[in-house]
Structure 1
Amino acid sequence: MISSPLTWIPRPVADEALAQLRRHGDVALGYGPGAVDFRSVSARTTGVLLRTAEFRRRDIDLAPNLCIIARHGAGYDTVDVDAATERGIPVTTTGAANAGAVAEHVFALLFAVARNVTTADRAVRDGRWVSARGALTGLELGGRTMGLLGGGRIGRRVAAIASALGMTVVVSDPALSAEDAEALGVQVLGHDELLAASDVLSLHLPLTRDTEKIIDRSALYALPAGAILINTARGGLVDEHALRKCLDDGQIVGAGLDVLACEPPADGNPLLAHPRTVLSPHIAGQTDAALRRVALEAAAAILATYRGETPAGAINGVVVGG
């Protein structure tokens, strides 16, 4: 049991989660009026609740009483997990809380790409109704194959929606059991087999040393010609210069990207000006309902740790009190 907890939160989270944390200890906010710099409270900090902020070894070393790092979301590449594990600090994520929101955004991007939504919108606003109506022909998704790299919570939601659209769904994920695959109505393939089969490729992997730029030039050219790429996971999974070349030569007919390797993107990002990309600013998980669920789940993990319990959602195998 932590007797005098202090939770540091560098970016805004749902008020309900803040209220829960304040009922059980102090909260220091790194945003808004009276924003507190982490260094000024690091000696007292027992927990951090992170949205997009990075938290590296240097930050962990500043906090001798730190006992949990809770991510507000599914990814954890902004956290030095190795440094936390060395200290016996659990790192938690909230992948289930926003899985539905992210899965829906996959299809927002996919429909926009397949049916030329953003191009058509600009044409109508620019007075090019007649020429656009004659020039724009969309792609039907029914009957095509959607490949999922990653079959976790989000990937499974995507699979269900794709199946409802009449798509064949194939998944590459060694953790997906044969029983789960059968229940989902999907086929499990190896990495190379999946690429060769995917008319639409949707990425649902964490960003690690092993997955960085996993979608490189060879992977993109392994897809069927005219494929669509959707990425709502992490921008670093994709070699953006290779993707730009594949868009230019038509190997990839379009890409819907909620994430980029550098966020916000630099002016020279090769994908910003491409007419066959649809981009959004890392908002796939941002619905009112999902943000509330994610914040409450992260707060619950923090409070469980303060009570001496092992929190749900720990990704580094740390057992509190173990």
Structure 2
Amino acid sequence: MTEPLVVITDSDLPGDEAERILGAAGLRVRRASCRTAEEVVEAARDATALLVQWAPVTASVLDRLDRLRFVSRLGIGHDMIDVAAATARGVAVANTPDYCVQEVAAHTIAMVMALARRLPVLDRAVRDGRWSATGDGAGALRPSRATVAVVGFGRIGSLAAAHAAALGFRVVVHDPNVAEAAVRAAGHEPVELDEALAAADVVTLHVPLTDRTRHLLNGAAIARMRPGALIVNTCRGGLIDEAALAGALASGRVAGAALDVFEEEPLPAGSPLRTAPGVLLTPHAAWYSPDSLAELPRRAARQIADFLRGGPVPSIVNPGYAAGRTGGGR
């Protein structure tokens, strides 16, 4: 009997830990470098499972992978996978939800504090020959007099909220998927989105990118924020309308933004965010530490092996996939 085939559609991570784990589980492994849906189909026609970093797994792709049973995302977000289509076809999808929670929360708070204390502006002022704490530092925040709005209260959002509260910030939380009692139990205030935007000195985003959340911060939402507010995004670039944000930064409506993620990555050379005032940019690096780099491929590969041997996979994001399989989805 031929062992099941796992196709690694794409990965820019160093090393071969995923291949080693999958091979030790008795699975065949094929590594590809897919960027398009057609390349995924070509590489994975006979695959039982996929290990996906950024390659698109669309409904059309799923229709043509007749043997596919499981997709493991090399990361937390899974917006490159059509989860609804996978569910309808009886294909399980799992992400790797907790490999970098500490790193992203720490990166978030570093960005919050850099903006709150005007570090990018002060750094540039010194390099340009100025030496004025009260001039270039105008607008610096005292944490105990400032509010951080955490939009999304999952693993990362809840830890970022705890960090912000520990620094003395008032923390308000918007997450319609989390019970208000749970937010209050953590010591924070649950609020609606409009209230969060209106109250916040700093807004930090921690929600998945879906059709509903795309451009969550658009021009209208930014207009509802208090003048001079700050924005932090370590989640998904598509949550923010970048053109609207650039305009708000240029006008001074938004005093600063710290961004680790972008609608197009790498950030295009011509993006107005590169030259907008008060902006701190990092290259989708919030997830990274040597520890998280080691854990990511290990966890993503192990859950493939666990699933294919019939073991539990707690990180499956579409538990209804089994109904699709029994209902004739495959």
Aligned residue number for residue 230 of structure 1: 232
Structure 1 runs, 4 residues or longer, greater than 6 Å off = none
SS at 1:79 equivalent = coil
**Alpha-carbon distance between aligned partners in 1 of 2:197 and 2:119, rounded to the nearest angstrom:** 26
- 8 Å CA contact 1:271–1:277 kept in 2: the answer is yes
**How large is the RMSD of aligned CA atoms in angstroms?**
2.4
- Is 1:11 the counterpart of 2:5? The answer is no
Gap change, CA 1:142 and 1:175, over 3 Å in 2 = same
Aligned residue number for residue 136 of structure 1: 136
Aligned residue number for residue 91 of structure 2: 89
2:317 to 309, 315, 318: 315
TM-score by length of 1: 0.89
1:121-270 aligned within 5 A: 121-125=123-127, 128=129, 130-131=130-131, 135-137=135-137, 138-270=140-272
**Alpha-carbon distance between aligned partners in 1 of 2:157 and 2:307, rounded to the nearest angstrom:** 29
SS at 1:271 equivalent = helix
Aligned residue number for residue 118 of structure 2: 116
- 8 Å CA contact 2:89–2:321 kept in 1: the answer is no
- 8 Å CA contact 2:9–2:43 kept in 1: the answer is no
- Letter of the aligned partner of 1:50 in structure 2? V
**Alpha-carbon distance between aligned partners in 1 of 2:142 and 2:55, rounded to the nearest angstrom:** 39
Instruction: Decide which moves more: 45-54 or 7-16.
Output: 7-16
Aligned residue number for residue 55 of structure 1: 57
SS at 1:48 equivalent = strand
- 8 Å CA contact 1:310–1:319 kept in 2: the answer is no
Q: What per-residue deviation string (whole Å, max 9, x for no partner) do you get for residues 292-314 of structure 1?
A: 22322212221121112452211
Q: What per-residue deviation string (whole Å, max 9, x for no partner) do you get for residues 60-99 of structure 1?
A: 3342211111112211111122221222111111222211
- Letter of the aligned partner of 2:21 in structure 1? Q
- Letter of the aligned partner of 1:6 in structure 2? V
**Alpha-carbon distance between aligned partners in 2 of 1:201 and 1:192, rounded to the nearest angstrom:** 12
Q: What per-residue deviation string (whole Å, max 9, x for no partner) do you get for residues 104-155 of structure 1?
A: 11122222323333344445556x2x44657421333333111111111111
**Alpha-carbon distance between aligned partners in 1 of 2:77 and 2:204, rounded to the nearest angstrom:** 16
- 8 Å CA contact 1:170–1:194 kept in 2: the answer is yes
- Letter of the aligned partner of 1:81 in structure 2? V
How many residue pairs match? The answer is: 315
Instruction: Decide which moves more: 14-23 or 256-265.
Output: 14-23
Identity within the alignment, %? 34
SS at 2:277 equivalent = coil
- 8 Å CA contact 2:88–2:321 kept in 1: the answer is no
